[in-house]
Structure 1
Amino acid sequence: MTAAYRTSAAVRQPAPGVAGVSAAAVALGVFAAVRAGGALVLCAAAWWAGRSPLRVLGASWDSAWYLGIARHGYGRTQMWPGTGLVQSDHAFFPLYPALVRLAGGGEWAALLVAWTAAAVAAVGVYRVGELVAGRRTGVLLVALWAVLPHAVVLSLAYTEALLAALAAWSLYALLRGRWLGAAGLAALAGLTRPTGVAVAAAVSVAALHAVLVRRSRAPEVWAAGLLAPAGWLAYVAAVGVDRGDPAGYFAVQRDWGSRFDFGRATLDTLWRVLTGGPVALATTVTAVLLGAALLSAGLLLADRARASDRLAADRPEADRARPGPALPRSLPLPLPLPLLVYTAVLLVIAVGGAGYFESKPRFLLPAFPLLLPLAAAMARARPRSAVLVTAGLAGLSYGYGVYLLVIARMPP
């Protein structure tokens, strides 16, 4: 079967005609209004603090590295005598700076690429939400994504918006059975950020599931499973060749203080927060957000397990060993397998990796499926309540973005 991807989770068919287009336009409009407001607040705060708004938006922290690659190519290193660290720009994947270079290479070009990607991502997030849980939930999913505490990054010259755009549309294509399109977008996601491997994992695991469980023999399924990780593997291999070390990319990451320690550093920091140790506000906020992300992941897993149990109970004994149709839409938000894999990989990378703790919510920004339980709950509430919650969260998001970039001057 290649017409549409099927799992034990409910996948709604998108509404045809003008209504579906209008809902997507509403979602994009909400996103644009929220993020434009955030950018204006950040610009006003930067101007008030005597800083250039363009520099804050287009050349803060990692943005400066991307601009350097766009203008001059790879080869820059930054030495820190106090710590002995030697940071290389090979830590940054090439797709975003390549697009910035094509757009002109300056701060405005970097912002143009990032803002365009954010808009494309918003529509893709809506489409996935609509497909899984309906139109209203899809719109609210986009609204919640726009007001996350670290959503300020979607207004900066960073790569999270580009990764989210590629991920959302790859997952949407996968859920609609467009295997090669999903794999191509996954390969591009692998050229965008290290966490782009999560998109590749979603496509490859879905292909493996199709082959082993559904006994698919379609050539595009096999091709998708093999193509999806090609972008990520190609860049890691290229860095290895450049440095004369097959594990050269991972050595670069260690020089930046990033490594996978199975969550030990994360647990140490969480313990300091819980025991009242001296930590910054951003550290406490990060701890709360990680806890919320893990709680949401637990809800999604529970929904999927409950849906699977109900499907097995509703089918005849002789049929339970065979794959069946999608669950009725009345079931409580079961998560399709590709979204589950994608979200799980992002969570494992964010929680299990050591590095700058306060940036972990930024790493989870593309993990929009984590917002589905809250979006579904808001969809069942009165519209006024949903608007008030979104407005309140937007205010907190604006304030936190100003705190990070203007007051504390911390990398988001």
Structure 2
Amino acid sequence: MRSSLSRGATIAAAYLAVRAVGVLIWWALTAINDRVNPAPWDGDWYLRIAELGYAGAGEGMTDADGVASPHGAMAFFPGYPLLVRAAAHLVGGHYLALGIAVSTLAGIAGAYGIARLTRQLGGGRRAELVAVVLTAAAPMSVVYSMPYPESLLVALVAWTLVALLEQRWWLAAACTVAAGFTSPMAGPLIPVVMAAGFVHLYRSRARMAGAATAVMVAPLGMLGYLLWVKTTSGVPGGYFEITERGWGNTVDFGAVTLEWVVRAFTERRDAFVVLTAAAIVAAVVATLFTRMPWPVWLYTAGTVALIVAHSGLVQDRVRLLLSAFPLLIIAAIRLARGRPRTVVLAVAGICLAGLWFGAYSVAVWPYGI
């Protein structure tokens, strides 16, 4: 018991320490560039939804083209802002502070899930710690300390994957519904949970109720929100038309992404563009050549495919790649096999690079993330 508590405290402390370093780098770059806004871009939307609801959140706000849209807030899923709103009702306080607190607490929960998933994928205690540290310092992990839903989504996905590998179907069902209510990036998770449930039902007669429940309820969080947007907004295409109009999001099977990557490597571009293109290519290659249990691999492949296949803003792709965190877990398991000094130096270098990238994207890069 004492050992488990100690290990849990170590995981939380490691996550918070890395995020603290990331925040310090972020603050340093914002001070150098005289650009301080702790809730830029999407963060503004989420906080306004939390405070004003969907009806009032869009007033005075514009989409990616600078155009006011009465339904623009509906492009942002409600799971995260509802948590912030609930926190405001329970403890009061400033919405920005509450948003950061919710993100931080969700990040800690995600760290525990990542450590547990690392064990399920064959890693030891050192690998668990390395996986948590790499995830906390991943490129664009700066949003884990901002009013963004990524830390909540990662936590829900991590615990869903743990539940699938451990065949804890009720937990898988609950986390999948919540993830689908939190972000469209939960899309690849839903068919994975349903497929795993079907496979279990086919192979085993035991614990059928839980698996059957997971199959049936997994899509309900996302489908419920999409149906609400369709009926409430009156827009013919619902959520999909709103995001296409305001943010150019549609499925183009990778045409925009491919053009971005080719131009990034062949024309003069700044660091953010080149590193974003490199991250996309690295994620695709790593997914193709990384071995994992099939539910984890299928989720990761679906996530990377979704990121590559949709059009719209390319500069947020590294942020979306945070959802492909199983790739970092596999990297952590392999890194942890080295000599302790080598592991420390390699992890420190990787972390500093990732934390700098996130800080740069918010404090220096002039566009949305």
Contact kept, 8 Å, 1:206 with 1:337, in 2: the verdict is no
Residues 178, 347 of structure 1: alpha-carbon distance in 2 compared, 3 angstrom cutoff: same
Contact kept, 8 Å, 2:185 with 2:323, in 1: the verdict is no
Residues 157, 79 of structure 1: alpha-carbon distance in 2 compared, 3 angstrom cutoff: closer
Contact kept, 8 Å, 1:23 with 1:139, in 2: the verdict is no
TM-score by length of 2: 0.90
What per-residue deviation string (whole Å, max 9, x for no partner) do you get for residues 150-202 of structure 1? 11111111110000011111221222221011101110001111112223222
Residues 147, 246 of structure 1: alpha-carbon distance in 2 compared, 3 angstrom cutoff: same
Contact kept, 8 Å, 1:207 with 1:224, in 2: the verdict is yes
Choose which of 295, 306, 312 in structure 2 pairs with 1:338. Answer: 295
Partner residue in 1 for 2:188: 198
Which aligned pairs between 1:12-411 and structure 2 lie closer than 5 A? 17-52=1-36, 56-57=37-38, 59-75=39-55, 76=58, 78-79=61-62, 86=69, 88-104=72-88, 106-135=95-124, 136-214=126-204, 218-245=208-235, 247-255=237-245, 256-274=247-265, 276-300=266-290, 303=291, 335-411=292-368
What per-residue deviation string (whole Å, max 9, x for no partner) do you get for residues 104-151 of structure 1? 261101111111111111111111011211222222111111221211
CA distance in structure 1 between the partners assigned to 2:242 and 2:202 by the alignment: 37
Contact kept, 8 Å, 1:110 with 1:157, in 2: the verdict is yes
Decide which structure has greater helix share. Answer: 2
CA distance in structure 2 between the partners assigned to 1:385 and 1:171 by the alignment: 30
Contact kept, 8 Å, 2:118 with 2:333, in 1: the verdict is no
CA distance in structure 2 between the partners assigned to 1:113 and 1:185 by the alignment: 17
Offset of 1:371 from its aligned partner?
Answer: 1.6
Offset of 1:373 from its aligned partner?
Answer: 3.1
Question: Which has the larger Rg?
Answer: 1
CA distance in structure 1 between the partners assigned to 2:304 and 2:364 by the alignment: 29
CA distance in structure 2 between the partners assigned to 1:353 and 1:215 by the alignment: 40
Contact kept, 8 Å, 1:296 with 1:373, in 2: the verdict is no
What per-residue deviation string (whole Å, max 9, x for no partner) do you get for residues 265-295 of structure 1? 1111112123x22433212111111121112
Amino acid aligned to 1:193: S
What per-residue deviation string (whole Å, max 9, x for no partner) do you get for residues 248-273 of structure 1? 11001101111111111111111212
What per-residue deviation string (whole Å, max 9, x for no partner) do you get for residues 70-111 of structure 1? 111113164579776847110001111111112226110111
CA distance in structure 1 between the partners assigned to 2:285 and 2:19 by the alignment: 26
Contact kept, 8 Å, 1:187 with 1:229, in 2: the verdict is yes
Structure 2 unpaired stretches of 5+? 89-93
Amino acid aligned to 2:255: R
What per-residue deviation string (whole Å, max 9, x for no partner) do you get for residues 312-371 of structure 1? xxxxxxxxxxxxxxxxxxxxxxx2222122212211110111111121111110221112
CA distance in structure 2 between the partners assigned to 1:156 and 1:227 by the alignment: 30
Offset of 1:246 from its aligned partner?
Answer: 5.9
Secondary structure of residue in 1 paired with 2:188: helix
Amino acid aligned to 1:226: M
Amino acid aligned to 1:262: F
> How many positions carry a matched residue from both structures?
358
TM-score by length of 1: 0.81
Contact kept, 8 Å, 1:198 with 1:346, in 2: the verdict is yes
Contact kept, 8 Å, 1:261 with 1:352, in 2: the verdict is yes
